Amino acid sequence: MVALPAGRTRRPRRPSAREAGTALLFVLPFLLLFIVFRFGPAIAGAVLGFTDYTIGGEAGFVGLDNFRRLVEDSTFWSALRVTVIFTAISVPLSMIASLAMAVLTRRMFRGVKLFRSIFFLPVVTSLVLAGVVFTWVFSEGGPWSQAMGALGLPAGSWLADSVLVVPALVLVSVWSRFGYGMLILLARMQDIPAELEEAALTDGASAWQRFRYVTLPQLRPALFFVAIIETTVSFQVFDTIYVMTGGGPVRSSYTLVYMLYDQGFKYFDLGYASAVGVALFVLTIIVALIQRLTLGREK
């Protein structure tokens, strides 16, 4: 061991060119797969948004015609409104549920690992299968309808009601996603130094004060990450809507991704469908930047 002078710390050794090259070889297969199957199609989709390409036909450049068509398309604005409403309700509820479950399962007690596994189980459950089950749950005469009737609330099928269909889909989305956010927040909570809470406890801080002034500020980067992931997933919701409502009733659950699907694979207008995808991408980026200015901003 070599003694270092007081006040000096050992600097981490930089990897050599050979080590860096070896690491790159291990990463290269995944990088190529990402470029070919994720990055490449994204670029191709953006390019197709400026064409009139249809399946089996030739792609002709049409400039901004598809985007002008979007602006004049009432279906697009309706789908945008449904998507924004769904996201505005789903993301906060999912984050609150994730945070609550992370706090609940943070402490070690008998059976805590079982509870964590149960809460995370919906994340790895097939959304198609879950959609089939929840279609029965929300149907007229189903468990949810009976429970609402017992409480004196609307007892009909929520999926057949143009006002209640989005809240029903939000409940399914929150159920299927909160376990992932719980895992991220739980991992960050377990990284918080115990000395911070002990100091607050010594100063007489209550449980709520310790959570608000110690735990919550430490969770800010993790909350920002969860918000970005949840927002992206909510903007791209499709599986449950396709299985449970088909965009109905009267297109009250018709989202942008469902419109993209219809235009591309029902009407085979891939140029216009790609323009919808570009609009969705821009919307996601704008919302992500807003979240960056609020949750992700550093002091």
The residues facing 51 across adjacent strands are 61
Of 52-61, 81-90, 193-202, highest mean pLDDT: 81-90
Q: How confident is the model at residue 3 (pLDDT cuts 50, 70, 90)?
A: low
Q: What is the pLDDT of residue 9?
A: 52
CATH numbers and ranges of domains, the chain: 34-294 (1.10.3720.10)
Predicted TM-score (pTM) of the model is: 0.85
Residue whose C-alpha is closest to residue 42's, from 274, 232, 287: 274
pLDDT tens digits for range 102-126: 988 887 777 888 888 888 999 998 8
- Is the alpha carbon torsion for 246, 251, 255, 258 positive or negative? positive
Q: What is the pLDDT of residue 1?
A: 46
pLDDT tens digits for range 41-75: 888 888 888 988 887 777 788 888 999 999 999 99
C-alpha angle with apex 107: 103 to 108, nearest 5 degrees? Answer: 145
C-alpha 294, offset from chain centre: 18
C-alpha angle with apex 5: 2 to 6, nearest 5 degrees? Answer: 130
DSSP-assigned letter for residue 46: H
Cα separation of 92 and 48, whole Å? 34
